């Protein structure tokens, strides 16, 4: 019994040591490549000179996809917040992709109708068949999306007004397939649980993503709070439904197909963290299982 406990102890110690060394390596990558990371904004030309912002009449059409499922308490807030983006109204297409089975359908449809009455380009798309879940909804939405650039937000996000205008500038480079903004946390201080989650996610966004981008390594779209070039999605084979982390799956397929990803830590997309342990457990299980599925697929 003592031998078994000793073996278990040293296995855990080895795993934690390896994890710590990996994190230290990421921190050193951030330090080593801090100039490249800092130079991400504003976008630059081939000679390294900052590009002047695009005038409104040259901005591309952007579709913001909002995949939702039974989010009655936050969906109206989400749609209204997206409508307040600092972007020409005739070039911002808001697409609500609703797979809901409860009163969310009525709330979302009414809000979209209100936006249309106010002169916005907004569509409400409801599916009865939830094939592919979120990936299926995003894929289905592309059939009627008006933009060549596709922003995506989950229901618990509240994007800031500068999101679209800041990210579209990078797509002037025809090799850029996706730009990811940094997550922030609306309820960071709500409890010890949310504080721990915020610390973990900040480590991912402020250390790992910055390190990978700065070193020119692969990194992934975080599932929300980012913008895709529609052609990059198509070239990578589109949204596929065979993993629980469709964002991770598509990210690696797109980068392996030759598309470049950009990380913008200065563009912030706040969101609410799960406040109860059951929701957090379900989320972490989904992420862990989906990561393994994606690794096997690749």
> Which structural domain range is residue 94 located in?
57-297
Structural element, H or E, at residue 194: helix 192-202
Closest CA to 25 of 13, 33, 14, 36: 33
Domain assignment present for 237: yes
Structure token pair of residue 96 = 């609500």
Residue 234's Cβ-count burial label (10 Å; 0-12, 13-18, 19+) is: exposed
Residue the block writes with tokens 């921190």: 27
Q: Quote the strand ranges of 32-175, DSSP E.
A: 62-68, 92-98, 121-126, 149-152
Per-residue pLDDT at 80:
98
What helix, strand, coil percent values describe the chain, rounded to 5? 50, 20, 35
Q: How many domains does the chain have?
A: 1
Domain assignment present for 209: yes
Q: For each of the chain's 298 residues, which pLDDT tens digit applies?
A: 788 888 888 888 888 888 888 888 888 888 888 888 888 877 877 777 888 899 999 999 999 999 999 999 999 999 999 999 999 999 999 999 999 999 999 999 999 999 999 999 999 999 989 999 999 999 999 999 999 999 999 999 999 999 999 999 999 999 999 999 999 999 999 999 999 999 999 999 999 999 999 999 999 999 999 999 999 999 999 999 999 899 999 999 999 999 999 999 999 999 999 998 888 888 888 888 888 888 888 7
| pLDDT, tens digit (0-9, with 9 covering 90-100), for 231-264 | 999 999 999 999 989 999 999 999 999 999 999 9
Domain assignment present for 193: yes
Bridge partners (DSSP) of residue 269 are: 183
Which residues participate in catalysis according to the annotation? 99, 247
Alpha carbons 298 and 289: distance in angstroms, whole number: 14
Alpha carbons 52 and 223: distance in angstroms, whole number: 29
Per-residue pLDDT at 157:
96
Local structure of 204: helix, strand or coil: helix
CB-CB contact of 82 with 64 (8 Å): yes
Can you say how many angstroms the Cα of residue 244 is from the centroid of all Cα atoms in its chain?
15
Q: What is the mean pLDDT of the chain?
A: 93
Domain assignment present for 50: no
Domain assignment present for 196: yes
Q: What CATH number is given to the structural domain containing 197?
A: 3.90.550.10
Per-residue pLDDT at 288:
85
Q: Quote the strand ranges of 17-111, DSSP E.
A: 62-68, 92-98
Per-residue pLDDT at 51:
84
**What is the signed CA dihedral for 258, 262, 263, 268, rounded to 10 degrees?**
-130
Local structure of 289: helix, strand or coil: helix
Alpha carbons 137 and 67: distance in angstroms, whole number: 7
| pLDDT, tens digit (0-9, with 9 covering 90-100), for 218-233 | 999 999 999 999 999 9
Domain assignment present for 42: no
Domain assignment present for 45: no
Domain assignment present for 32: no
């Amino acid at each position: 019994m003592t031998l078994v406990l000793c073996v278990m102890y040293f296995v855990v110690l080895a795993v934690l040591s390896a994890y710590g060394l990996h994190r230290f390596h990421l921190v050193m990558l951030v330090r080593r490549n801090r100039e490249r990371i800092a130079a991400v904004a504003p976008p630059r030309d081939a000679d390294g000179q900052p590009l002047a912002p695009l005038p409104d009449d040259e901005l591309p059409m952007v579709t913001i996809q909002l995949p939702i499922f039974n989010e009655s308490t936050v969906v109206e807030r989400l749609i209204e917040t997206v409508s307040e983006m600092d972007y020409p109204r005739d070039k911002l297409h808001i697409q609500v992709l609703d797979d809901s089975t409860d009163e969310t359908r009525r709330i979302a449809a009414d809000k979209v109708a209100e936006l249309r009455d106010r002169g916005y380009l907004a569509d409400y798309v409801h599916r009865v068949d939830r094939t592919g879940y979120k990936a299926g909804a995003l894929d289905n939405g592309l059939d009627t999306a008006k933009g060549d650039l596709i922003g995506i937000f989950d229901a618990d996000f509240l994007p800031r007004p500068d999101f679209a205008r800041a990210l579209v500038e990078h797509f002037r480079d025809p090799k850029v397939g996706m730009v990811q903004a940094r997550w922030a946390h609306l309820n960071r201080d709500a409890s010890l649980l949310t504080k721990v989650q915020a610390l973990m996610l900040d480590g991912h966004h402020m250390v790992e993503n910055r390190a990978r981008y700065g070193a020119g390594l692969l990194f992934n779209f975080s599932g929300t709070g980012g913008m895709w070039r529609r052609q990059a999605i198509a070239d990578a084979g589109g949204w596929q439904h065979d993993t629980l982390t469709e964002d991770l799956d598509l990210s690696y397929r797109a980068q392996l197909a030759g598309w470049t990803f950009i990380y913008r830590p200065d563009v912030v997309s706040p969101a609410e963290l799960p406040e109860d342990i059951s929701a957090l457990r379900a989320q972490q299980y989904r992420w862990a299982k989906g990561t393994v599925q994606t690794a096997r697929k690749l």
